[in-house]
């Protein structure tokens, strides 16, 4: 639920005059995305998303995110394309915030994805990994092992408010992940947040990937593990191996996983579940109830963590 | 800020299959309107607004509101047109709520309206009054004098939390309004909530009127008075007589006010300011801070009330 900053028609029209985007016909604040303010614009040349970057996205990283979208779109990945201003820049200022105008992608995100959708997501993720291989910019993953330790230090004193035994569980997770995190796996540009609300479909066909604001350089198989967490658990927290199989098969049809990547999946999936648990926990404990942000329950990822701790073989995820 | 109910693509596609509205391409929850959940849809046949009616709008009144939009659109008023289902109905059910699909109007609402905009609003309001004259359904104004007394009974015990002297002020207002409310003025269909966010412009041209969910039968001049409150005060609560003059001239160019309507404006404007003060006050005191509703400050209307109490002649509003 977002729209933290309203924009007047006067300032928006002034902003748009720098872009070859036609005449403004309408704009509506949309209730999607949890980090930025987003507006859906209609102009005489089509539909666009206008994003105002609020504090959480570091301004220094915007050139990386926007150049990545341009790069991927140029490689044929269906993702939003930042519109260049007449001076060649893609980042402007609006209402005191950095802002970008990007093309609007039609499609719906799947509230109830099927195994067929999971297969398409796997294919698209592998395509993204391949398309990013010659992207020249680099961004380290701020939410990797180091970042988890920092988040945990902030939340640990109050973690029992969410779950009594959580501190002991997570201390153990971090120790295990520190010892067993796989070294030397293939790495490059990853999406790092490819949840169902960031993947659009038209019917059974994947029509686009959005929200590259966590993209960074990290292990490809870690991105796969995040998708297993995001797409293959049911509402009762059971792992749906049919969906896992479909997602992994889709991925491997485009980019086969190496034996070392396969062997690493359980620890990567555990790390990925911990990462989302930790950011949710941090928000849960620190964001006041009155804020217009929907806080997401960290328990959903504690449950996933507990599942991954029990995994003895990557075959349990549906690898073939 | 609205979107209280999310809708899955599966249930939305099932819902849309009853309408001749093409193939669904995308839908986004939009952060406008404070009573209902609204989605902006793109389909192969165009753009639509999907509204899910949450509790505040009485279900029994929906046929009135939707028939009124159909009637006004048929008379050439630019307002959303409810799309008829294949069975001829305009109200369906979605996610357990009554829901309607209406055409999308391009245009922007003016965060900073000018006197030119006020003139156009005046013209449009008069056009709406004329177009509604042969509308056959009737809905009494639930937020008329009786409704104000009820709202005030609920809020009076805590009114001092907002402003120490408020109880005495409002007691006096209600007494005066009860004695002086004008009888026998021309009445018919009024919009009753024609604030800037319910009026769209493309450039200087008014492109549409929306949100008929307070429409009812009441005095036309009361609707004019509400527009004076909504459009002609500056952020410092000063009344802008240039805007008042433009709004009234625009209105009278289409439907001249009778001498009795003109004479009634001060008391009607005072009543209208009290009406918006009372609903804001009630929300202010009763809606928990954690709710995803932006509460609006009742003080803005206490200030208007104080202005209207000082008016000695309707000429002060800019009548010519």
Contact flag B3-A31 (C-beta cutoff 8 Å):
yes
Interface probe for B, chosen from A24, A28, A109 (most Cβ of B below 10 Å), is: A28
**pLDDT tens string B220-271:** 999 999 999 999 999 999 999 999 999 999 999 999 999 999 999 999 999 9
**pLDDT tens string B260-277:** 999 999 999 999 999 999
Confidence of residue B290 (pLDDT cuts 50, 70, 90): low
Contacts of B269 (CB under 8 A, 6+ apart): B225, B228, B229, B304, B308, B311, B317
Confidence of residue A98 (pLDDT cuts 50, 70, 90): very high
Contact flag B6-A111 (C-beta cutoff 8 Å):
yes
Q: In a 3-state reduction of DSSP, which class is residue B87? A: coil
Lowest mean pLDDT among A31-40, A251-260, B115-124: A31-40
Q: How close, in Å, is residue A237 to chain B by CA atoms? A: 20
Of A8, A29, A109, which is closest to B30 when you measure between CB atoms? A29
Confidence of residue B91 (pLDDT cuts 50, 70, 90): very high
**Mean pLDDT value across residues B10-22:** 95
Interface probe for A, chosen from B9, B34, B105, B288 (most Cβ of A below 10 Å), is: B9
B95 touching A (Cβ < 8 Å) = no
CATH 3.90.1200.10 domain locations along chain B = 109-317
Confidence of residue A1 (pLDDT cuts 50, 70, 90): very low
**Mean pLDDT value across residues A289-307:** 81
Instruction: Give the residue from chain A lying closest to B295, CA to CA.
Output: A290
Q: What percent of chain B has pLDDT over 90?
A: 87
Give the C-alpha separation, A129 to B185, whole Å. 71
Contact flag B107-A9 (C-beta cutoff 8 Å):
no
Mean pLDDT of chain B: 93
Confidence of residue A100 (pLDDT cuts 50, 70, 90): very high
Of A28, A107, A292, which is closest to B26 when you measure between CB atoms? A107
Q: How close, in Å, is residue A191 to chain B by CA atoms? A: 22
User: What residues in B contact A31, CB-CB < 8 Å?
Assistant: 1-3, 28-31
Of B3, B25, B110, which is closest to A106 when you measure between CB atoms? B25
A171 touching B (Cβ < 8 Å) = no
Contact flag A30-B30 (C-beta cutoff 8 Å):
yes
Does pLDDT of A289 surpass 90?
no
Instruction: Give the residue from chain A lying closest to B289, CA to CA.
Output: A290
Confidence of residue B1 (pLDDT cuts 50, 70, 90): very low
- The one-character DSSP state at B316 is G
CATH 3.30.200.20 domain locations along chain A = 9-104
- The one-character DSSP state at B180 is H
Q: How close, in Å, is residue B170 to chain A by CA atoms? A: 30
Q: How close, in Å, is residue A289 to chain B by CA atoms? A: 5
Give the C-alpha separation, A293 to A213, whole Å. 18
What pLDDT, on the 0 to 100 scale, is given for residue A250?
A: 98
Fold of B109-317: Aminoglycoside 3'-phosphotransferase; Chain: A, domain 2 (3.90.1200)
What pLDDT, on the 0 to 100 scale, is given for residue A195?
A: 97
A window 262-301, beta carbon within 8 A of B: 289-290, 292
**pLDDT tens string B94-151:** 999 999 999 999 999 999 999 999 999 999 999 999 999 999 999 999 999 999 999 9
Q: In a 3-state reduction of DSSP, which class is residue B213? A: coil
Beta-carbon contacts below 8 Å between A and B = 87
Does pLDDT of A178 surpass 60?
yes
**pLDDT tens string A203-235:** 899 999 999 999 999 999 999 999 999 999 999
What class, spelled out in words, does domain B9-104 have in CATH? alpha beta
Instruction: Give the residue from chain A lying closest to B104, CA to CA.
Output: A26
Q: In a 3-state reduction of DSSP, which class is residue B69? A: helix
| pTM for this predicted structure | 0.89
Confidence of residue A290 (pLDDT cuts 50, 70, 90): low
**Mean pLDDT value across residues B32-56:** 88
């Amino acid at each position: 639920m977002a729209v933290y900053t309203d924009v007047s028609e006067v300032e928006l029209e002034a902003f748009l005059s720098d872009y070859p985007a036609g005449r403004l016909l309408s704009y509506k604040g949309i209730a999607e995305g949890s980090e930025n303010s987003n507006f859906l614009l209609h102009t005489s040349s089509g539909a666009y998303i206008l994003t105002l970057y609020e504090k959480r996205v570091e301004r220094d990283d915007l050139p990386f995110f926007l150049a990545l979208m341009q790069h991927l779109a140029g490689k044929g990945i269906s993702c939003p394309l930042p519109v260049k201003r007449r001076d060649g820049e893609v980042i402007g200022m609006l209402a005191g915030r950095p802002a970008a105008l990007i093309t609007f992608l039609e499609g719906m995100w799947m509230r109830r994805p099927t195994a067929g959708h999971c297969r398409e997501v796997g294919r698209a993720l592998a395509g993204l990994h391949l398309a990013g291989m010659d992207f020249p910019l680099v961004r380290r993953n701020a939410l990797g092992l180091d970042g988890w330790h920092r988040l945990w230090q902030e939340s640990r004193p109050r973690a029992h408010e969410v779950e009594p035994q959580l501190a002991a569980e997570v201390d153990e997770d971090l120790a295990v992940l520190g010892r067993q995190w796989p070294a030397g796996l293939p790495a490059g540009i990853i999406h790092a947040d490819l949840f169902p609300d960031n993947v659009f479909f038209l019917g059974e066909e994947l029509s686009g990937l959005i929200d590259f604001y966590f993209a960074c350089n990290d292990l490809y198989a870690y991105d796969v593990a995040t998708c297993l967490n995001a797409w293959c658990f049911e509402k009762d927290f059971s792992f749906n191996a049919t969906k896992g199989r479909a997602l992994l098969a889709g991925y491997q049809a485009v980019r086969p996983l190496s034996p070392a990547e396969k062997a690493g999946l359980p620890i990567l999936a555990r790390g990925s579940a911990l990462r989302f648990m930790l950011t949710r926990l941090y928000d849960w404990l620190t964001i006041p109830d009155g804020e217009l942000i929907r806080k997401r329950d960290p328990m959903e990822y504690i449950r996933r963590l507990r599942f991954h701790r029990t995994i003895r073989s990557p075959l349990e995820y549906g690898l073939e």
